[in-house]
Structure 1
Amino acid sequence: MIGVIADDVTGATDVAVAFRRAGLRSGVYFGTPESTAVDEGLDVVVIALKSRTIAADGAVAQSLAAAHALQAMGATQLYFKYCSTFDSTANGNIGPVLDALVGLVQVDVVVTTPASPEHGRTTFHGHLFVDGVLLSESSMRNHPLTPMRDSALTRLMDAQAEGGSAVIGHDVVARGAAAIRSEVEAARGGTRYLFPDAASEVDLLAIAQAVLDAPLVAGAAGLAGAIGRVRGGARASRNGRNDSVPAGRAAVLAGSCSRRTLEQIDRVLQAERPAHRLDALESDDPEHLARRALEWYDALPTGPAPLIYSSLPPPELHEVQEKLGVERSAEILEAAIGRVAEGLRDRGVTRFVAAGGETSGSVVAALGVRGGIVGVEAARGVPWIHTDQDLDVLLKSGNFGEPDLLLSASEGSA
Structure 2
Amino acid sequence: MRPAPAVVYYGDDFTGATDTLGTAARAGLRALLFLKTPDEARLARAGALDVLGIAGAARAMTPEEMQAELRPVEALFRSLGARVLHYKTCSTFDSAPHIGSIGAAVRLLRAAVEQPWTAIVGGQPNLGRYCLFGNLFAAAGNGGEVFRIDRHPTMSRHPVTPMDEADLRMHLAKQGLADVRCMPFTAASRGSDALDTALRQALHSPPADAVLFDVVDASQLGAIGDVLWARAQESTLLAVGPSSVVDALSTAMPPSREELQRRRNGARVAQMSLTPASGPVLVLAGSLSPVSARQVAAAVSFDTVWLDAPRLAQRDDATLTGHADAIAGSLARGRNVLACTRTPGTMPSGGGLDAQALARAGGDLLAKVLAATPLRRIGIAGGDTSSHAVQALDAWGLSYIADMGAGASLCRVHSDDAKLDGMEIMLKGGQMGTDDVLERLVHGGIA
Shift of 1:242: 11
Counterpart contact for 1:257–1:313, Cα < 8 Å:
no
Shift of 1:272: 5.8
> Which AA in structure 2 matches 1:199?
V
Of 7, 11, 23, the match for 1:6: 11
Shift of 1:334: 2.2
Shift of 1:298: 4.3
Shift of 1:40: 1.7
**CA distance in structure 1 between the partners assigned to 2:339 and 2:374 by the alignment:** 16
Given the two structures, how large is their TM-score scaled by the length of structure 1?
Answer: 0.90
**CA distance in structure 2 between the partners assigned to 1:363 and 1:371 by the alignment:** 14
**CA distance in structure 1 between the partners assigned to 2:210 and 2:40 by the alignment:** 31
Counterpart contact for 2:288–2:350, Cα < 8 Å:
no
**CA distance in structure 2 between the partners assigned to 1:272 and 1:372 by the alignment:** 26
- Cross-structure match for 1:119: 127
- Cross-structure match for 1:85: 92
Shift of 1:141: 0.5
Of 3, 21, 25, the match for 1:16: 21
- Cross-structure match for 1:274: 303
Shifted more, 96-105 versus 137-146: the winner is 96-105
What are the within-5 Å matches in structure 2 for residues 206-355 of structure 1?
Answer: 206-213=223-230, 214=232, 215=236, 216-231=238-253, 236=259, 243=272, 245=275, 247-268=278-299, 271=300, 273-281=302-310, 284-300=314-330, 302-312=333-343, 315-318=346-349, 320-321=351-352, 326-327=353-354, 329-331=355-357, 333-346=358-371, 347-355=373-381
- Cross-structure match for 1:198: 215
Q: Secondary structure at the match of 2:161?
A: coil
Shifted more, 295-304 versus 274-283: the winner is 295-304
**CA distance in structure 1 between the partners assigned to 2:176 and 2:443 by the alignment:** 45
**CA distance in structure 2 between the partners assigned to 1:383 and 1:232 by the alignment:** 25
- Cross-structure match for 1:394: 426
> Which AA in structure 1 matches 2:161?
T
> Which AA in structure 2 matches 1:143?
H
- The answer to whether 1:358 aligns with 2:384 is yes
Q: Secondary structure at the match of 2:251?
A: helix
The superposition leaves residues 160-182 of structure 1 with CA deviations (integer Å, 9 ceiling, x where unpaired) of: 12451111123322222222222
- Cross-structure match for 2:79: 72
- Cross-structure match for 1:176: 191
**CA distance in structure 2 between the partners assigned to 1:314 and 1:126 by the alignment:** 37
The superposition leaves residues 82-106 of structure 1 with CA deviations (integer Å, 9 ceiling, x where unpaired) of: 1110110144510111122222213
Counterpart contact for 1:115–1:199, Cα < 8 Å:
yes
Aligned residues: 404
The superposition leaves residues 152-206 of structure 1 with CA deviations (integer Å, 9 ceiling, x where unpaired) of: 0110111112451111123322222222222333315421211122110111221
**CA distance in structure 1 between the partners assigned to 2:390 and 2:297 by the alignment:** 25
Counterpart contact for 1:287–1:339, Cα < 8 Å:
no
Counterpart contact for 1:26–1:373, Cα < 8 Å:
yes
Counterpart contact for 1:35–1:69, Cα < 8 Å:
no
The share of aligned pairs that are identical, in percent, is 24
- Cross-structure match for 2:403: 377
The superposition leaves residues 261-296 of structure 1 with CA deviations (integer Å, 9 ceiling, x where unpaired) of: 11111112xx26211121133563342232111222
- The answer to whether 1:185 aligns with 2:200 is yes
Counterpart contact for 1:351–1:393, Cα < 8 Å:
yes
> Which AA in structure 2 matches 1:74?
G
Q: Secondary structure at the match of 1:212?
A: helix
Cα distance change on mapping 1:392 and 1:242 into 2, 3 Å: farther
- Cross-structure match for 1:101: 109
Counterpart contact for 2:21–2:399, Cα < 8 Å:
no
Shifted more, 18-27 versus 345-354: the winner is 345-354
Counterpart contact for 2:325–2:369, Cα < 8 Å:
no
> Which AA in structure 1 matches 2:106?
L
Q: Identify unmatched segments of 5+ residues in structure 1.
A: none
Q: Identify unmatched segments of 5+ residues in structure 2.
A: 140-145, 263-268, 415-420
Counterpart contact for 1:123–1:199, Cα < 8 Å:
yes
**CA distance in structure 1 between the partners assigned to 2:175 and 2:294 by the alignment:** 34
Cα distance change on mapping 1:282 and 1:54 into 2, 3 Å: closer
Across the aligned residues of Structure 1 and Structure 2, the Cα RMSD in angstroms comes to 2.4
Counterpart contact for 2:360–2:389, Cα < 8 Å:
no
Of 42, 63, 67, the match for 2:70: 63
- Cross-structure match for 1:409: 441
Q: Secondary structure at the match of 2:96?
A: coil
**CA distance in structure 2 between the partners assigned to 1:140 and 1:209 by the alignment:** 32
**CA distance in structure 1 between the partners assigned to 2:310 and 2:110 by the alignment:** 44
Counterpart contact for 1:241–1:375, Cα < 8 Å:
no
> Which AA in structure 1 matches 2:295?
Q
